Structure 1
Amino acid sequence: MHEPDTPTGTGAQEGIRAIRALWDTMARGWAAGDAARFAASFAQDCDFTTVRGGRPAGRPGIESGHAALFRGPYAGTALETDVRAIRFLRPDLATVDAESTVSTTGGVVLARTHALAVVERTATRPWLIRAFHNMIPLPPGAQQAPRPEEFTVTEPTPRPKLRHLAIVARAPEELAEFYASVFAMELFHREPDGSCFLSDGYLTLALIKHRLDGETPMGMNHFGFHVENTDDVSAALVAAGTPEPAERSTSRPYAEYRAIDPEGNWFDLSAHGFGGPRPTAGPTPT
Structure 2
Amino acid sequence: MHQTDGTHAAARDDDTRHIRALWAEMARGWAAGDAALFAANFTEDCDFTTVRGDKPPGRSGIEAGHAALFDGPYAGTVLDARVVAVRFLGPDLATVEAESTVSTPGGEPLTTTHALAVVERTPQHPWLIRAFHNMIPAPRPAQREAENEKEPAADGAAARPRLRHLAIVARDPEKLADFYTSVFAMELFHRDPDGSCFLSDGHLSLALIRHQLDGDTPVGMNHFGFHITDTAATFEALTAAGTPQPAERFTNRPFAEYRAMDPEGNWFDLSEHGFGGPRPPSGSSGRS
Residues 101-133 of structure 1: CA distance to partner in whole angstroms, max 9, x if unpaired?
211122111122222211101334331000112
Partner of 2:63: 63
Q: Does 1:86 align with 2:82?
A: no
The structure whose residues are more often helix, as a share, is 2
Partner of 1:74: 74
Alignment check: 8 A CA contact 2:168 2:223 kept = no
Partner of 1:40: 40
Q: Does 1:178 align with 2:194?
A: yes
Give % identity. Answer: 53
TM-score calculated relative to the size of structure 2: 0.55
Q: Hey, what's the Cα distance between the residues in 1 that align with 2:117 and 2:102? A: 18
Pairwise CA distance, 1:43: 0.8
Q: Hey, what's the Cα distance between the residues in 2 that align with 1:65 and 1:122? A: 24
TM-score calculated relative to the size of structure 1: 0.56
Matches for 1:99-110 after TM superposition, within 5 Å: 99-110=99-110
Partner of 1:191: none
Residues 12-64 of structure 1: CA distance to partner in whole angstroms, max 9, x if unpaired?
23212211111111000011111111111111111112233222221122112
Pairwise CA distance, 1:71: 2.0
Structure with higher Rg: it is 1
Give the AA of the match of 1:14: D
Equivalences, count:
219
Change over 3 Å in CA distance of 1:222–1:107 after alignment to 2 = closer
Change over 3 Å in CA distance of 1:12–1:159 after alignment to 2 = closer
Q: Hey, what's the Cα distance between the residues in 2 that align with 1:113 and 1:42? A: 18
Q: Hey, what's the Cα distance between the residues in 2 that align with 1:144 and 1:29? A: 44
Question: Aligned with 1:95: secondary structure?
Answer: strand
Q: Hey, what's the Cα distance between the residues in 1 that align with 2:100 and 2:165? A: 32
Matches for 1:92-241 after TM superposition, within 5 Å: 92-137=92-137, 146=146, 148=149, 178=194, 182-183=197-198, 210=215, 218-220=218-220, 228-229=237-238
Pairwise CA distance, 1:158: 11
Question: Aligned with 1:105: secondary structure?
Answer: coil
**Cα RMSD for the two superposed structures:** 5.0
Q: Hey, what's the Cα distance between the residues in 1 that align with 2:36 and 2:109? A: 24
Q: Hey, what's the Cα distance between the residues in 1 that align with 2:84 and 2:113? A: 13
Residues 115-163 of structure 1: CA distance to partner in whole angstroms, max 9, x if unpaired?
22111013343310001122334679x869749479xxxxxx8989879
Alignment check: 8 A CA contact 2:56 2:62 kept = yes
Give the AA of the match of 1:55: K
Pairwise CA distance, 1:178: 2.8
Q: Which has the higher contact order (CA 8 A, sep 6+)?
A: 1
